[in-house]
Amino acid sequence: MAVNRRIVLARRPVGRPRPEDFRLEEVPVPRPGPGEVLVRNLWLSLDPYMRGRMGEGRSYARPVELGEVMVGGTVGQVVEANAPGITAGSFVVGRGGWQEWSVLPAGELRTVDPQAAPLSTALGVLGMPGLTAHVGLRDIARPKPGETLVVAAATGPVGGTVGQLARLAGARVVGIAGGPEKCRLAVERLGFPICLDHRAPDLPGRLRAACPDGIDVYWENVGGGVLEAVLPLLNDFARVPVCGLVAWYNATEPPPGPDRLPALLRLVLTRRLLVQGFIVSDRPEGDFRAEVGALVRDGRLAWLEDVREGLEAAPTALAGLLEGENRGKLLIRLAPLPTA
Amino acid sequence: MAVNRRIVLARRPVGRPRPEDFRLEEVPVPRPGPGEVLVRNLWLSLDPYMRGRMGEGRSYARPVELGEVMVGGTVGQVVEANAPGITAGSFVVGRGGWQEWSVLPAGELRTVDPQAAPLSTALGVLGMPGLTAHVGLRDIARPKPGETLVVAAATGPVGGTVGQLARLAGARVVGIAGGPEKCRLAVERLGFPICLDHRAPDLPGRLRAACPDGIDVYWENVGGGVLEAVLPLLNDFARVPVCGLVAWYNATEPPPGPDRLPALLRLVLTRRLLVQGFIVSDRPEGDFRAEVGALVRDGRLAWLEDVREGLEAAPTALAGLLEGENRGKLLIRLAPLPTA
């Protein structure tokens, strides 16, 4: 009988996730019930939101239970379809989790064409992260030509797409990333006109110099010291889509004072800021697939991937992601792409 | 020669404004130049924003200079008009400042009909505070029938109007005010179904009990402990128009830690909150005058006024306003209404 290797949550992490917080299990490959599909997973997406699901606090989605398979987006190939309209051999994207095989309801899968774009992009620029960039720009950030947009995690799949889409919309884009290598990648591979290293000294001064007209959109991916450098530069009517706060995800207690909450709200008032949290799944896709799909097809939108091999690489890779160790979209290759 | 009594800013206050921060001066009544109008001021409006103008920090408007007349909205009667389309004897609302006589550009005045509503309402429910309530509800708060809206400073001209307009829109409204008398006024005179005293013990527990379905709109007038009680109760997709933060206006330094800024932003993200600062003058009036004017005419919208007599009462009255000592819209009667 075929074996499914899977990783479950063994313990709720305190601070940075450790290997002991996860457990690799071998179980029989499950069989699809009516309306379900058995998928051989090829790619697993690792994303910062997963840290939130490992805690038991209230978030926008229920936590992963102890002993439950870790959640995650996957691309795979249908092996057995017990549902109409979907055939064995086709490729699908869904929420298969941290495992090599998944049984999923057919209605929760989307088929992808491996000829149109590499399959892994269904988890990146053409998947959840790309859609996040698209809807946040469309609904909240709304950059206008000539405005200045600052985005951190500039080599990540959200930040990188935000920067490129905003440039195409005519905005002045300033990227921020951790370390000189990522900054170089953002400029050379993703076309950022400038990318600042938030680990080098005097980010506030360098950011001020890079934004002579202030900041009209700050795309919040990270929180932490980047936010601190951004706040004094925000223009009247600036928009701050709050998409992620990865710098704080491992925090175990509130940082020491002074309490900056009152100062933040005074800034919101006096500069008439719009600060809005959003989650991609709350919002309609609109013309995302048509628009971003065409940009990918025409080579006008680039992306970076950081691929790790094998399911067992996932725990360490996720811990590293939360500390910015990845270079682009972090993916686990669960199995080689089958040859036709 | 007639004398104009006026109050200028003598010193930038530290903390609560004191009498020595102001200076009463007697100067000749000014004469209107071309396009200008001489107005005998009857009512002076006192509003929390004035505290911001007394400091020298960047805000949404330039500070009052030392020696300059304090800014403020006024209603008065035209004595001499040196401009077409405006006649002596008519009543006007404008930004006459803390003085008994003002010369103002005719283009910055709006005439008001003393028969339609009491003149003082042009500084309250039918003036800047009423318009603030209208545009903030229309553009940011957007309360839906059955949603729960919480507003502090419930007896003030903004909070009182917000609560009543939201009720008319079908929302469940919970007021908050300082002290049992104000809470009684909010319920008996302004029709709030419930009003909680933020000075009594356990505001968080009482607010939770008053909002069994959570909070969908928190109209932020005050900051401080009220905000603290509200935050845990905010529902997904709640809106927080940031209209004022009066509890912090006299603050001289940031409060001690822990730093709650990261926790606020995490809440913004996980509950997908909309937090937006706004200033009434940035936004179009729309149908404010027609809509709220009709409600006032029909007796469907109530208001409270707290009238102090004479220009010299203004400094102490403003200091009290910042500590919540007023009961409704705070007004200085500069002169009795002239009899026809």
User: Would you give per-residue pLDDT tens digits along chain A (340 residues)?
Assistant: 689 999 999 999 999 999 999 999 999 999 999 999 999 999 999 999 999 999 987 677 889 999 999 999 999 999 999 999 899 999 999 999 999 999 999 999 999 999 999 999 999 999 999 999 999 999 999 999 999 999 999 999 999 999 999 999 999 999 999 999 999 999 999 999 999 999 999 999 999 999 999 999 999 999 999 999 999 999 999 999 999 998 888 888 888 889 999 999 999 999 999 999 999 999 999 999 999 999 999 999 999 999 999 999 999 999 999 999 999 999 999 998 776 5
Looking up tokens 């170089």 gives A184
CA–CA separation, B114 vs B117, rounded Å? 6
Q: What is the pLDDT of residue B131?
A: 97
- Structural element, H or E, at residue B297: helix B288-297
Q: Does the structure show a pLDDT above 90 at B313?
A: yes
Residue environment code for A209-238, b if the CB has 16+ CB neighbours within 10 A, otherwise e: ebbeeebbbbbbbbbbebbebbbebbbeeb
Of B263, B269, B282, the CB nearest to A254: B263
Q: What count of CB pairs under 8 Å joins A to B?
A: 140
Q: Which residues have C-beta within 8 Å of that of residue A156, sequence separation ≥ 6?
A: A129, A221, A326, A328, A329
Dihedral of the CA atoms A271, A274, A277, A279 (nearest 10)? -150
Cβ atoms of residues A141 and A292 within 8 Å? no
Q: Does the structure show a pLDDT above 90 at B39?
A: yes
- Substitution target in B142, B265, B271, B279 with the highest count of A β-carbons within 10 Å is B265
β-partners of residue B3 are B28
Q: Which long-range contacts (CB under 8 A, 24 or more apart) does B294-300 make?
A: B295/B168, B296/B117, B296/B121, B296/B125, B296/B126, B297/B116, B297/B117, B300/B168
Confidence grade of residue B58 (pLDDT, cut at 50, 70, 90): low
**pTM of the complete model:** 0.93
Q: Say yes or no: A10 contacts chain B, CB-CB below 8 A.
A: no
CA–CA separation, B1 vs A329, rounded Å? 79
CA–CA separation, A138 vs A125, rounded Å? 16
Nearest partner of B274 among B184, B175, B100, B139, judged by Cα: B139
CB contacts of A270 in chain B (<8 Å) are 52, 58-60, 277
Q: What is the pLDDT of residue A197?
A: 98
ipTM of model over 0.85:
yes
Of A227, A261, A272, the CB nearest to B279: A272
The phi, psi pair for A130, rounded to 5°, reads: -65, -40
Nearest partner of A60 among A337, A281, A304, judged by Cα: A281
Q: What is the pLDDT of residue A60?
A: 74
Q: What is the pLDDT of residue A139?
A: 97
Each residue's pLDDT tens digit, B111-153: 999 999 999 999 999 999 999 999 999 999 999 999 999 999 9
Q: What is the pLDDT of residue B57?
A: 75
What is the arithmetic mean of pLDDT over B56-66?
84
Residue environment code for A265-292, b if the CB has 16+ CB neighbours within 10 A, otherwise e: bbbbbbbbbbbbbbbbeebeeeebeeeb
Indicate yes or no: CB of A259 within 8 angstroms of CB of B263. no
Nearest partner of A337 among A182, A140, A191, A122, judged by Cα: A122
Q: What is the pLDDT of residue B340?
A: 52
Q: Which of residues 210-239 of A touch B (CB under 8 A)?
A: 220, 223, 227, 236-237
Confidence grade of residue B203 (pLDDT, cut at 50, 70, 90): very high
Indicate yes or no: CB of B236 within 8 angstroms of CB of A60. yes
